[in-house]
Amino acid sequence: MKHKKDCPFCEPKVFGVTFLESKNFRAIYNAAPILPGHSMIVPKSHVESLMKLNDKELCELVRLGRDAVKVLQKAFHTRSFNWTIQEGEPAGQTVGHLHVHIIPRSAKDLPRPGDWYPKLAAWKGKIIDSKSRKRISKNEMDSIVSHLRKMK
Ligand SMILES: [Zn+2]
């Protein structure tokens, strides 16, 4: 499995924030969520682009995303979600490791439904060491992740 030094999604810390996984992908909880439940699907190895996945991996990625949504539906009591991929720097990709954002939504969580995107665009991608966004504490993270792990 290919890993890259200093990549937040390749760091061993990523194990502690994983609440669901398949053979090649993991669902992780964001340490600096833009809304409660903000999670991501990432490949276990350092893959930069969606275009590098074969059909089988692409299917595995979407299936894990769906399974993560099922967990988040129960945990965050909603059936509304934003899914997004920022592919390439001009599209807002800040970490060169493919990640699909999955964000639970609920009525009036933001002033307008589309307001999540500017928040995401301002996200600097430092999932584990974000300083630019309010982080959840280690205890809070551990408790959310263990709660989500029990919900599969
Ligand atoms: Zn990586």
pLDDT at 101: 95
pLDDT at 128: 43
Strands (E), 33-132: 39-43, 80-85, 100-105
Distance 138 CA to ligand 1 centre (A): 22
pLDDT at 124: 59
Distance 12 CA to ligand 1 centre (A): 11
pLDDT at 40: 96
Spatial neighbors of 111 by CB under 8 A, at least 6 apart, are none
Residue of 3, 38, 97, 99 with catalytic role? 99
The torsion angles phi and psi of 4, rounded to 5 degrees, stand at -120, 135
Distance 111 CA to ligand 1 centre (A): 34
Encode the chain (152 residues) as per-residue pLDDT tens digits: 899 999 999 999 999 999 999 999 999 999 889 899 999 999 999 999 999 999 999 999 999 999 999 999 999 999 999 999 999 988 888 889 999 999 999 999 999 999 988 888 776 554 444 455 678 899 999 999 999 999 98
Distance 141 CA to ligand 1 centre (A): 21
pLDDT at 60: 98
Distance 83 CA to ligand 1 centre (A): 20
pLDDT at 130: 44
Whole-number Å distance between alpha carbons of 90 and 103: 22
Answer yes or no: 38 catalytic: no
pLDDT at 22: 98
Whole-number Å distance between alpha carbons of 33 and 142: 14
